[in-house]
A and B are shown apart, each in its own frame.
Chain A
Amino acid sequence: MSRLDHTFAQLKTSGRKALIPFITAGDPEPGFTVPMLHDMVKAGADIIELGVPFSDPMADGPVIQRASERALAHRVGLRKTLAMATEFRKTNQTTPLVLMGYLNPIEIMGYEDFANAAQRADIDGVLTVDLPPEESAECVALLRARGIDQIFLLAPNTSAERVRKMDEVGSGYLYYVSLKGVTGAGHLDTRDVAEKLALIRQNTALPVGVGFGVKDAETAETLAGFADGVVIGSALISKIEAHLDDPGRARSEIITLLASIRHAIDR
């Protein structure tokens, strides 16, 4: 059983929902990331999505774009992100870590080399924004052989047929993008999400996390009513961006926000 399967099974037993924070590796500087990962676990994170900085983040809004740019200014890319994951695992063997990013860094490293490197870093899942199931067979097979889950995105306009395809190809969980747009975008309609999730669940037994546009504890609480997990990214990164001159303050504000969301989704 993968670490992700185990985590979702445990949450289900205890009647809780997964809190899944996202930060970009190396933002605002490389030394910030690993301690922040541990702090997020302490603040109640069940799973962590760690963003791999990319020069051309086509699906991201301005907040995560700028996070990538800050990380790249410190030359943090896929290799250094993997090194941070390795560092994190030295003192945490339980919290699943999912790499989230774009395909090109993996392409350039080579699928097999990447799968091996991800295994050595003890990565649990890989979410590649621009790798739809149709093109994913080779990558999925290499990862699966090493016990790593490939996580796919679902969108509001994804058909039932495609949900079944993701269910077949993907594992770990599915990530439902709650709106048509980029990360951190405007208004998330929780009623729409509830309706769509009901349809998705008719076509997959995989846990479903919801993200894109989750800004506060209230939205997270509503989403937790019908999702298996709530992903929060841009709202956390906004804290980093607001305190670039004081990373310690960014850290404490992220911890506070996550703790309040933890509290809300456990209500």
Chain B
Amino acid sequence: MTDHYDMPDARGHFGPYGGIFVAETLMPAITELNQAYQRYLQDPEFIAELDADLRDYVGRPSPLYHAQRWSQALGGAQIYLKREDLNHTGAHKVNNTVGQALLAKRMGKTRIIAETGAGQHGVATATVAARLGLECVVYMGAVDVARQALNVYRMKLLGATVVAVESGSKTLKDALNEALRDWVTHIDDTFYIIGTVAGPHPYPAMVRDFQAVIGREAKQQCLAQTGRLPDALVACVGGGSNAIGLFYPFIDDESVKFYGVEAAGDGIATGRHSAPLSAGRPGVLHGNRTYLMADDDGEIIETHSISAGLDYPGVGPEHAWLKDIGRADYVSITDDEALQGFHALTRMEGIIPALESSHALAYAAKLAPTLGKDRIIVVNLSGRGDKDMHTIMQREGIRL
């Protein structure tokens, strides 16, 4: 590690990862977006507008909450929760959509498209589009449409058109494919709000920069509440935007360990999982080079996770790089373990977490007892669990 982390390079590379791997028609739009991103993230007026939106519309800063009862029960490190679930729309996704929507407005785009898995990013996009009066189309795999019906309805209420994608595995990756097809067809007037730190450069860096507000706040709050930095950060990783948002502002603080938690689904050994960093290999998908779940022919393998938001065969390229250089550890949590984490937090702290975030909680519950009581773990509670009620009831055979 150098003293100061400075990634990506000018062409969007994180070591061998990242870059721009897209069809030629997208190149001018990506260049235009990159110029706008470089310009406005230095622009005090833009930053002031973004900060005001994050404060007055999103409700930031989100609290850093000491989960005392749960920490005590686990008998080890003190667990602090970064409460992204308390944001407007119920997850961290809105930090990014507010930012990208402001960019879209500055760039004169009149139409917004997005892909979504669990529907949180779709809802967060439909929300900002409604607020700015922009047309909004959200692509969502048909499987996800079925398992996240509540979010589909929210998006429709907000005025978005939700397109159920029937191709491939009918999940998040196919929604991304379809959004890219839309973008290439409506390249002149359309802004594509990607929901995670994947896609071609500048998306991985840009989404990180919009989400880094999570880590900046957490750092200040931890210092204010405890007088020191945390020992470990824990966040779930699908594409990896909430994780990178928490990690990034701590990246030069070498005493702070990073744990990214992937979805092990039925278990890594079963092959039915969504854990490319734990059990995948480098390849190219959706505009960047990163770890992927692919077979020997380079075909993308179908993924599985109880959590729609983690059900993705790739991961943001910066996570691939942080893994290779050893700055972050990537671990995994099964569906069953995530459910245990879900119930534990609900019963111990009165907070119902999203299934995605439950993966991070479940790992924190494993990590905490291995550390002393004076240690501090910050877990990114990236979203609230209301959207998952149906999934959990079904899984646990509950009828009301």
Contact = CB atoms under 8 A, between A and B. Distances in A.
Given A56-B168, A58-B286, A108-B298, A153 B181 contact: no
A152 B283 CA distance: 20
A182 B23 CA distance: 10
B39 to A, nearest CB: 19
Interface in B305-349: none
Looking at chain B's contact residues, the main secondary structure is mixed
Contacts of A13: none
Interface in B173-223: 173-174, 177, 180-181, 184-188
B20 interface: yes
Interface in A181-235: 181-182, 185
Contact of B167 (A65, A107, A180): A65
Given A59-B181, A107-B289, A182-B184, A162 B27 contact: yes
A158 B284 contact: no
Contact of B22 (A78, A107, A132): A132
B181 A132 contact: no
Contacts, number: 118
B21 interface: yes
Contact of A135 (B21, B23, B177): B21
A139 to B, nearest CB: 11
Nearest to B185: A181
B299 interface: yes
A157 B294 contact: no
Contacts of B281: 108
B177 A57 contact: yes
B185 A180 contact: yes
B184 A181 contact: yes
Contact of B20 (A54, A56, A57, A132): A132
A177 to B, nearest CB: 6
A185 B174 CA distance: 19
A115 B346 CA distance: 55
Contacts of A117: none
Interface in A117-161: 129-132, 134-135, 152-159
Nearest to B167: A65
Contacts of A55: 168, 299-300
A132 B25 CA distance: 10
B297 A79 contact: yes
Contacts of A129: 23
Interface residues of A, number: 44
Interface hub of B19, B174, B283 (most chain A Cβ within 10 A) = B283
B292 interface: yes
Contacts of B283: 104, 107-108
B68 to A, nearest CB: 46
A203 to B, nearest CB: 14
B28 A159 contact: yes
A58 B23 contact: yes
A247 interface: no
B11 interface: yes
B271 interface: no
B285 interface: yes
A54 B299 CA distance: 6
B249 interface: no
A175 to B, nearest CB: 9
Which 8 pairs across A and B sit closest by C-beta, in order of nearness?
A: A77-B297, A105-B298, A108-B298, A155-B25, A181-B185, A55-B299, A59-B23, A55-B300
Interface of B: 11, 19-25, 27-28, 167-168, 173-174, 177, 180-181, 184-188, 281-287, 289, 292, 294-300
20 contacts: A55-B168, A55-B299, A55-B300, A56-B300, A58-B181, A59-B181, A69-B167, A105-B297, A107-B282, A107-B298, A108-B283, A108-B294, A108-B295, A109-B298, A129-B23, A130-B284, A152-B24, A177-B25, A181-B25, A181-B181
Interface of A: 53-62, 65, 69, 72, 77-79, 102-109, 129-132, 134-135, 152-159, 162, 177, 180-182, 185
